[in-house]
Amino acid sequence: MTDQTFASLGLAESILSALERQGYETPTPIQTASIPSLLAGRDLLGCAQTGTGKTAAFALPIIQRLSAMAVRPAPKSCRALVVAPTRELAAQIDSSFAAYGANSRLTHTVVYGGVGKAPQVKAIGRGVDVLVATPGRLLDLHNQGVVRLDAVEIVVLDEADRMLDMGFIRDVKRIMALIPKNRQTLLFSATMPNDISGLANSILRDPVRVSVTPDKPTVELIDQKVAFVEKGEKRAFLAALINAQGDERAIVFTRTKHGADKLAKALSVGGIPAEAIHANKSQNNRTRTMDGFRAGNLRVLVATDLAARGIDVDGISHVYNYELPEVAETYVHRIGRTARAGASGCAIALCDREERPLLKAIEKLLRTSVPVASGPLFDQVAADARKTMIAEAAAIRADPRLAAREAAERDRERSFDPRNRTKTGRRPEGRPEARSESRSSSTGAAGRVVAKRGSLTSSSSGATFSSKESNHGNRFDRSPSGRSPSGGASRERSGGARSGQRSR
Ligand code: AMP
């Protein structure tokens, strides 16, 4: 396995030189396991998560196979279709095609919602070799008659389980029904819930099965910790933690969009420049924020689970689970944003009392316990957080307007917390349903962070601070791409987010 080279997998010279330019020296396990079968035209069922090199695993054979058949795409058609759940992932995949196909004559474009359709319609008008799309926008364009799917030769469903989570599975089935049966089909999913294996059985023909995440996700390179911090203390604690660690680049995950906005604002006000990214932000805003984060101009990104997968930014040193996810697998995807491309990384979860069952579920999935954060650094963080809370509580006591604003904000936040609103039908991003049990909120309990037996824990007495908690498809890029520190170049250019532009 380890002796394999890209050349020995059967890839053509033009692709090998594009890979060299990316700094890729050896194929990853999923590439080794998938590429020869895909070059031979087999269907594939891949159990793999982002970060394993799965994009190249499917993109390289697609580029080679399409290049070998000297066929031009028909107007409004594509020859290969890649369906991905989020705009960010779709844009990244499109960028990867640009990088890996730099020496080919194939064209590509990406379409997703949240931006104008006109440039996308134009880009597909003459036909493209590779179309990357999110399901909703693709169907929309198909329904308008501006995209045809009756000439698709190869189709990839990426992050199928995520599409299921996001409620796209019916759209995906509709899309599959529009594609000729005589095709090559690839399905990738990090997990294999029943719905996904059912879908796989119905659309794949005698697939090669490749799994690089057997049961247990690979998180060995990540230094994981959990700090037990009450809800009302989390914000001060996180700020102290970021300051203490001098994070180079961190992602903080929150449960709600409102929570992400609020936390990003609070961190920024406290001197830690942070921006939020979630589904309510405009696509331009999301692109700008991601560009700033990738370029290193933005130190802290506060994200909902929209960003938990798909987003591939090298050099994220820390992942903070400000709130634990409702679904244990999501924890793994979140922390997988760090320790990419062989680097190490640190993931710290802030767990309050109500979240203990969620932590248990995560530990069950990992089949190990997450070590409790302890030691002088965390003691200092706890002390700093407490100081901040006491100062803020004093400021609130001294200013009735501030106190009223805090109380209103607390109410508003409670209404935004899906755990308190299951009957309204609102739900956390990307989750079809919120958990139905309502939890008693400890929001109002002012907390005190204390170091106890070398680990962080908290008590509910002490401080009075309350919780607030182109006109054508793009020609494949021939210019050297911005290379990431790890040599993974394609993802560092976010140009793919601007659909319809022509690559140089
Ligand atoms: P993916 O799982 O496709 O999101 O890829 C994760 C990261 O690994 C991306 O930054 C890729 O550029 C990088 N990558 C993919 N294949 C290789 C390889 N064979 N060698 C080095 N980096 C790679």
pLDDT in tens, 302-339: 999 876 555 667 788 899 999 999 888 889 888 888 87
Structure tokens at 494: 């976010």
- Please name the CATH architecture into which domain 222-386 falls: 3-Layer(aba) Sandwich (3.40)
- Helix (H), strand (E) at residue 68: helix 54-68
Is the CB of residue 46 below 6 angstroms from any atom belonging to ligand 1?
no
- Geometric angle at alpha carbon 337, from 278 and 483, rounded to 5°: 100
Least confident stretch, 155-159, 266-270, 483-487: 483-487
State how far the alpha carbon of 374 is from the alpha carbons of 28, 364, 367, in Å.
35, 22, 21
State how far the alpha carbon of 330 is from the alpha carbons of 79, 324, 382, 424, in Å.
33, 9, 27, 24
pLDDT at 264 over 80: yes
Q: What percent of the chain has pLDDT over 90?
A: 52
Q: At what angle do helices 283-295 and 87-100 cross, to 10 degrees?
A: 60
Across all residues in the chain, what is the average pLDDT? 79
> Which of 31, 88, 312 best tests ligand 1's pocket when mutated (most atoms within 8 Å of CB)?
312
| 90 Cα to the center of ligand 1, angstroms | 15
Of the two residues 225 and 389, the one the predictor is more confident about is 225
pLDDT at 424 over 50: no
Atom of ligand 1 at shortest range from CA of 50: 2
Q: At what angle do helices 87-100 and 13-22 cross, to 10 degrees?
A: 120
Per-residue pLDDT reduced to its tens digit, 337-386: 887 666 678 999 999 999 999 999 999 988 889 999 998 889 999 999 99
Which amino acid is present at 163?
M
> Which of 34, 96, 486, 490 best tests ligand 1's pocket when mutated (most atoms within 8 Å of CB)?
486
The residue with tokens 């989570």 is 165
Region 453-478: mean pLDDT is 31
| 298 Cα to the center of ligand 1, angstroms | 23
Is the CB of residue 310 below 6 angstroms from any atom belonging to ligand 1?
no
Of the two residues 219 and 133, the one the predictor is more confident about is 133
| 401 Cα to the center of ligand 1, angstroms | 52
Which amino acid is present at 221?
L
Question: Could you check whether 7-211 and 222-386 share the same CATH topology?
Answer: yes
Region 404-429: mean pLDDT is 57
Q: Are 372 and 226 in contact (CB under 8 A)?
A: yes
Which residue has the CA at smallest separation from atom 13 of ligand 1? Answer: 488
Q: Are 325 and 303 in contact (CB under 8 A)?
A: no
- Helix (H), strand (E) at residue 456: strand 455-459
Of the two residues 63 and 419, the one the predictor is more confident about is 63
Domain 7-211 indexed as CATH 3.40.50.80: no
Q: In what order do the strands lie in the sheet with 184-189?
A: 208-211, 44-47, 184-189, 154-157, 78-83, 128-133, 107-111, 474-475
pLDDT at 9 over 90: yes
Of the two residues 501 and 178, the one the predictor is more confident about is 178
Atom of ligand 1 at shortest range from CA of 6: 19
Q: Are 86 and 134 in contact (CB under 8 A)?
A: yes
Is the CB of residue 28 below 6 angstroms from any atom belonging to ligand 1?
yes
Of the two residues 488 and 153, the one the predictor is more confident about is 153
> Which of 28, 95, 158, 340 best tests ligand 1's pocket when mutated (most atoms within 8 Å of CB)?
28
pLDDT at 394 over 80: yes
Residues 200 and 190: their CA atoms lie apart, in Å, by: 13
Q: Best-predicted range by mean pLDDT among 296-300, 439-443, 470-474?
A: 296-300
Structure tokens at 293: 């984060």
Structure tokens at 126: 């003459």
Closest among 197, 158, 193 to 175, alpha carbons compared: 158
Is the CB of residue 56 below 6 angstroms from any atom belonging to ligand 1?
yes
Which amino acid is present at 190?
A
Question: Strand pairing partners for 82?
Answer: 132, 156
Q: Give the domain ranges of the chain.
A: 7-211, 222-386
Alpha-helix residue ranges (DSSP H) falling in 134-233: 135-143, 160-165, 169-178, 194-203
> Which of 1, 15, 32, 55 best tests ligand 1's pocket when mutated (most atoms within 8 Å of CB)?
55
Which residue has the CA at smallest separation from atom 14 of ligand 1? Answer: 53
Which amino acid is present at 68?
A
pLDDT at 1 over 70: no
Give the pLDDT confidence score for residue 280 in this predicted structure: 83
Closest among 469, 463, 457, 467 to 227, alpha carbons compared: 457
| 22 Cα to the center of ligand 1, angstroms | 9
pTM of the model: 0.59
Which residue has the CA at smallest separation from atom 1 of ligand 1? Answer: 53
Q: What are phi and psi of 448, to 5 degrees?
A: -130, 125
Q: How confident is the model at residue 459 (pLDDT cuts 50, 70, 90)?
A: very low
- Helix (H), strand (E) at residue 87: helix 87-100
pLDDT at 277 over 50: yes
Which residue has the CA at smallest separation from atom 21 of ligand 1? Answer: 24
Which residue has the CA at smallest separation from atom 8 of ligand 1? Answer: 53
Atom of ligand 1 at shortest range from CA of 24: 20
107-111 and 474-475 as β-strands: parallel, antiparallel, unpaired?
A: antiparallel
- Helix (H), strand (E) at residue 46: strand 44-47
Q: What percent of the chain has pLDDT over 70?
A: 77
Q: How is residue 101 annotated by DSSP? A: T
44-47 and 184-189 as β-strands: parallel, antiparallel, unpaired?
A: parallel
Q: Are 221 and 243 in contact (CB under 8 A)?
A: no
Which residue has the CA at smallest separation from atom 19 of ligand 1? Answer: 27
CB atoms within 10 A of CB 302: 29
| 65 Cα to the center of ligand 1, angstroms | 21
Cβ partners under 8 Å of residue 158, min gap 6: 54, 55, 58, 82, 83, 84, 85, 89, 93, 188
Strands (DSSP E) found in 207-321: 208-211, 222-228, 250-253, 274-277, 300-303, 318-321
Q: How confident is the model at residue 20 (pLDDT cuts 50, 70, 90)?
A: very high
Is the CB of residue 51 below 6 angstroms from any atom belonging to ligand 1?
yes
Q: Best-predicted range by mean pLDDT among 141-155, 416-430, 456-470?
A: 141-155
Cβ partners under 8 Å of residue 194, min gap 6: none
pLDDT at 107 over 90: yes
What count of residues does the chain have? 504
Give the pLDDT confidence score for residue 254 in this predicted structure: 95
Cβ partners under 8 Å of residue 24, min gap 6: 6, 56, 487, 488
Structure tokens at 18: 């594009």
Cβ partners under 8 Å of residue 401, min gap 6: none
Structure tokens at 331: 């924890």
